[in-house]
Amino acid sequence: MKKSMVKRIMAIALVVVLCIGVTACGGSKPVEDTSTETSGEVVWWGWTPGSPTNEEYIAEFNKEYPDIKVTWKQTSIDDYDATIRPALANNEGVDAFEVSAGSGNGGIQVFAGQALDLTDAVKEALGDGYKDKLNEASLTTMTVDGKLKALGVGTVYSGNIWINQDLFDKYNVKVPTTYQEWKDACKTFKENGIDGFVQGAGQGAFNIDTFHAIADNVSPGTFTKAATGEGEWTDPAIVKALELWKGLFDDGIMQDGALGLQQYPDANNLFMSQKAAMVMMGSWYTSNTLPNTMKAAIEAASSTAEPFTMLPVDFPDIAGTGNVGSFFGDLDYSTAISATSANVKAATTFAVWLGTSQKGQQMIADSLNVVPSLLSATPDWDVVELVNPEKQNEAIKEYVENASSSPNNPRFASINADLNQSMMDVLAGVAGGTITPEDGSAQLAQTQADSE
């Protein structure tokens, strides 16, 4: 062989050896991923359920994976998208992050492009039959372009209100089941220096919950059909629901200044400090029936009040139709893994444990924050201790069972981003008197048409 050929081969070999020693032979610096399946550091971003519950989840996870350090980074609901979007784009310490169904905060349609496909990880954890072991919504709503972009932790349902039973007993107030009874209850509480019903009507997502509940009371299913395009927003039932929504403000059911308050923290803090007797919250609020969770919520409200007896009740029959007890729900949150994370394996281990393991999902079930995605995980009522077992045990058990077995009635999953914003604008305008119910329904219909 010629010397020139030998030199050429040796040179090529040297280049190959050098290339093997680095991630790539380009000019960019190689990215190192030193995490493994059982060790590493994970920064977990989200908005719910918050401290101390999330730290309890992490502590339980660390019993099985002591060498994976998980740090919970919480933002407010309203600030989540604006905060995490640049963090993901700039690869600023996001390993696992919460996403939701639909177009609300953390919407999966918005963030799917920055999340890894977790299909193989779920198959490894649960086997090829994983679809039969998980809540269907935990898979379908998190699948984008055929890829599972996040693992559902649990589902939440709305449609009911929560009451402070101790205040109802103290002032001998009847739990309202009709519009007039609701007005009367609020009047009695107000005479005693307490808000009867509190809602942070300045935070649009929770207004949609109340409006949805009213619409289901007027005509079950009409709201969902309109949102999915199977019905019309100009349906007389929708106009009637907007009229009733307006009535809540005009007739003294909504507290004074409701449009200037946020559901979190304002309305929540008023209820938790026993300055309000009723609040529009869903199944996620059930966790506050646990003594430690309620104590933390009361302290966060800067209150020294003692834990009290709170109970879920049906949304009052304000339309007089007899249609009560409606639930609508979606996945509350799911865990996605950032595609740019340097700790993908450790983060995936955490997400899979939280969303698919029996221990993780049983802990979720017993925290009463969401209905677990794993079908085999249900609350252990022999372990769960409530603030007032005598008055709460049967009511809470029945509530959780009814919510989890309710018919398919999406909360936000069928509402796209444009319709979501339009609905918030319409509800605020109708409540404030700047938009009529008829014009509001027409505006929703136009938004729906423009987005199709």
Check pLDDT > 70 for residue 1: no
Instruction: Tell whether 197 is covered by a domain.
Output: yes
Nearest to 161 by CA among 55, 93, 254, 68: 254
User: Residue 22 falls within a domain, yes or no?
Assistant: no
Looking at the fold, whether 228 and 110 belong to one and the same domain comes out as no
Residue 164 sits at the vertex; the CA angle it makes with 163 and 165, to the nearest 5 degrees, is 100
Q: For the chain, what percent of residues have pLDDT higher than 70?
A: 92
Separation between Cα atoms, residue 161 and residue 415, nearest integer Å: 22
- Note whether 58 and 96 are same-domain residues: yes
Does 343 map to a domain? yes
For the cut 60, the answer to whether the pLDDT of residue 15 exceeds it is no
The domain spanning residue 363 has which CATH number?
Answer: 3.40.190.10
Residues 410 and 291 occupy one common structural domain: yes
Is there a single domain that holds both residue 335 and residue 441? no
- Reply yes or no on whether the pLDDT at 9 is more than 90: no
Cα–Cα distance measured from residue 285 to residue 49, given in angstroms and rounded to the nearest whole number: 10
The amino acid present at 95, given as its one-letter code, is D
Same domain, 353 and 292: no
Domain holding 82, by residue range, is 40-156+330-372
Considering the domain boundaries, does residue 17 fall inside one? no
Q: How many residues does the chain have?
A: 452
Task: Compute CA 313 distance to the chain's CA centroid, rounded to the nearest angstrom.
Answer: 20
**Digit-coded pLDDT (tens) for 277-332:** 999 999 999 999 999 999 999 999 999 989 999 999 999 999 999 999 999 998 88
Report, as an integer, the average pLDDT of 179-186.
98
pLDDT score recorded for residue 33:
39
Instruction: Indicate if 177 and 229 belong to the same structural domain.
Output: yes
Mean pLDDT of the chain: 90
Reference 117, options 152, 153, 149; nearest CA is 149
The model's pLDDT over 348-399, given as tens digits with 9 standing for 90+, comes to 999 999 999 999 999 999 999 899 999 999 999 999 999 999 999 999 999 9
**226 found inside a domain:** yes
Interatomic CA distance for residues 175 and 182, integer angstroms: 8
Identify the bridge partners of residue 262 per DSSP, sorted by sequence position: 201
Give yes or no: residues 297 and 228 share one domain. yes
Q: Are residues 406 and 365 in the same domain?
A: no
In this predicted structure, what is the pLDDT of residue 345? 95
Residues 87 and 144 in one domain: yes
- My answer on whether 225 and 335 are in the same domain is no
Residue 131 belongs to a domain: yes
**pLDDT > 80? residue 156:** yes
Q: Are residues 307 and 189 in the same domain?
A: yes
Q: Report, in angstroms and rounded to the nearest whole number, the Rg of the chain calculated over CA atoms.
A: 25
pLDDT of residue 78: 81
What pLDDT is stored for residue 76 in this prediction?
Answer: 87
Mean pLDDT score, 159-172? 98
Cβ-based burial of 331 (10 A; exposed 0-12, middle 13-18, buried ≥19): buried
Q: Diameter of the chain by CA atoms?
A: 105
Please report whether residue 192 resides in a domain.
Answer: yes
**Cβ proximity of 414 and 224 under 8 Å:** yes
Q: How many domains does the chain have?
A: 2
pLDDT of residue 34: 31
**Number of alpha helices (DSSP H) and beta strands (DSSP E) in the chain:** 18, 12
Helical segments of 333-436, H only: 344-356, 358-367, 389-404, 417-432
Q: Are residues 274 and 152 in the same domain?
A: no
Instruction: Classify residue 33: in a domain, yes or no.
Output: no
Long-range contacts of 384-389 (CB under 8 A, 24+ apart): 384/290, 385/290, 385/291, 386/289, 386/290, 386/291, 387/289, 387/290, 387/291, 387/294, 387/307, 387/308, 387/309, 387/310, 388/165, 388/309
Beta bridge mates, 310:
164
Neighbouring CB atoms inside 10 A of 76's CB total 13
Give the model confidence (pLDDT) of 317-326 as tens digits: 999 999 999 9
| Distance, CA of 439 to CA of 432 (rounded, Å) | 14
> Which has more pLDDT, 104 or 328?
328
pLDDT band at 144 (very low <50, low <70, confident <90, very high): very high
Q: What pLDDT is stored for residue 331 in this prediction?
A: 87
Q: Provide the pLDDT for residue 103.
A: 67
Omega before 52 within 30 of 0, i.e. cis: yes
